[in-house]
Amino acid sequence: GVVEVVVVGSCNTDLITYTARFPNPGETIHGHSFSIGFGGKGANQAVCAARLGASTAMIGKVGNDTFGNDTTKNFQNNNINIDHLGMEDGTSTGTAVITVDESGQNSIVIVNGANSLLSKSDVSAAEPMIARAKILVCQLEVEPEVSIAAMKLARQHNVMTLFNPAPARANLPPDAWTLCDVFCPNEAEAEMFAGMPVKAKEDAEKASLFFLDKGCKIVIITLGDKGAVYVTQENRTPVHVPCRVTKVVDTTGAGDAFAGALAYYMACHPGLAIGQVIRRSCEIARMSVQHSGTQNSYPVRQQIPDELFL
Ligand code: RIB
Ligand code: NA
């Protein structure tokens, strides 16, 4: 059948250490547990959208190694189309070495490996699939020019684009803004791209207007446990959507759960008001922070209240 959500982006293996606190430079400390999970911002968003029920495809690259084989199987287990998932010799599957402290905060070092080899021609090869999709989703964990090329292609076919500019990096091509229908950074990314502090809700409101003026049609800035702020070209008054409070075990991948949920709702519930789309996506992200791990913590359909699907 037709793929509704196409994700162009990264696949990582997450190597996660849980510890009371972060080590200082030069210091060795004891963590209390370790786990290996599937991650990478692109893959996470694809898995979240697929678990919610979107027919989803992943365009990406893994290495010809154990992690790459396992990642491929993981996509299959999550019903994700991998017609355009490449496996490359001579490089390693992307990795993320993650430390999670007692409060559920994380610090991450990623090594791109095969993700860096995803090219514009890999994206062009998927043109027929992209052309028929409802939404195309990109991030910044592959070469930015590849994300830009994918959004250009989607635009040519009137396919909606969702751009999650994570992780933040300097020197984004200027056409990035005009190519995205939905621009969805977190506070840190918004701060970097807007060049203004984004700490409080009021800052996010200001930054959201900055991005709107750059040409994005809808801007959604996520604020962690404070929810999100959004603004649209049709209604230039920023709106704050709060998030219900929750116990926090591990916030790793919560932003990706949010972006994946956004993609699902926009593709599969096109009549839903944007405020509702955001409220529901916050709920999905909230469910993910209650459990350890990245994709491991994303809910499956049966665990999600029916009201989020009405
Ligand atoms: O956003 C969370 C993701 O960032 C992790 O899964 C890790 O792979 C890093 O890419
Ligand atoms: Na989690």
- Residues 86, 93: Cα–Cα separation, whole Å: 11
State whether the beta carbon of 222 lies less than 6 angstroms from ligand 1: no
Nearest protein Cα to ligand 1, atom 2: 253
**Stretch among 12-16, 170-174, 192-196, 279-283 having the lowest mean pLDDT:** 170-174
In the chain, the N- to C-terminal Cα span, in Å, equals 23
Which run of H or E residues covers position 127?
helix 127-132
Report CA(135)–ligand 2 centroid distance (Å).
25
Q: Is 108 in the pocket of ligand 1 (CB under 6 A)?
A: yes
* Ligand 2 centroid, distance to 96 Cα (angstroms): 15
* Closest C-alpha residue for ligand 1 atom 7: 40
pLDDT tens-place string over residues 116-146: 999 999 999 999 999 999 999 999 999 999 9
Residue 40 Cβ inside 6 Å of ligand 1? The answer reads: yes
Residue 220: pLDDT over 90: yes
CA distance 198 to 201: 8
Cβ(253) to ligand 1 under 6 A? yes
pLDDT category of residue 197 using cuts at 50, 70 and 90:
very high
Q: What is the pLDDT of residue 73?
A: 98
What pLDDT, in 10s, does the model give residues 47-66? 999 999 999 999 999 999 99
- Whether the per-residue pLDDT at 265 is higher than 90: the answer is yes
Q: How far is the CA of 14 from the centre of ligand 1 (A)?
A: 7
H or E element, residue 136? strand 135-138
The interface predicted TM-score of the complex, written ipTM, equals: 0.98
pLDDT of residue 171: 81
pLDDT of amino acid 58: 98
User: Per residue in 201-215, pLDDT tens?
Assistant: 999 999 999 999 999
Give 221 Cα–ligand 1 centroid separation in angstroms: 18
Ligand 1 midpoint to CA 259 (Å): 13
Q: Is the pLDDT of residue 8 over 90?
A: yes
Bridge-partner residues for 161, per DSSP? Answer: 136
Ligand with the closest atom to the CA of 288: 2
Give backbone dihedrals phi and psi of 133, rounded to 5 degrees, phi first: -75, 165
Closest ligand 1 atom, residue 94 Cα: 8
| 8 Å CB contact between 289 and 250 | yes
Q: What is the pLDDT of residues 227-256, one digit of tens each?
A: 999 999 999 999 999 999 889 988 999 999
146 touches 118 (CB < 8 A): yes
The mean pLDDT value of the chain amounts to 96
Per-residue confidence (pLDDT) for residue 170, from 0 to 100: 83
Sign of CA dihedral 285, 82, 151, 193: positive
Q: What integer is the mean pLDDT of 181-192?
A: 96
Nearest of 182, 166, 247 to residue 217 by alpha carbon: 182
Cβ(14) to ligand 1 under 6 A? yes
pLDDT at 169: 87
CA neighbor of 194 nearest in space, from 217, 177, 175, 218: 177
**301, 65 Cβ separation under 8 angstroms:** no
C-alpha 209/C-alpha 212 separation (Å) is 5
Ligand 1 in reach of 280 Cβ (< 6 A): no
- What integer is the mean pLDDT of 90-114? 95
- Would residue 256 show up in a list of annotated catalytic residues for this protein? yes
The one catalytic residue among 83, 101, 256, 306: 256
Which pLDDT belongs to residue 44?
A: 98
Question: Which ligand has the minimum distance to the alpha carbon of residue 104?
Answer: 2
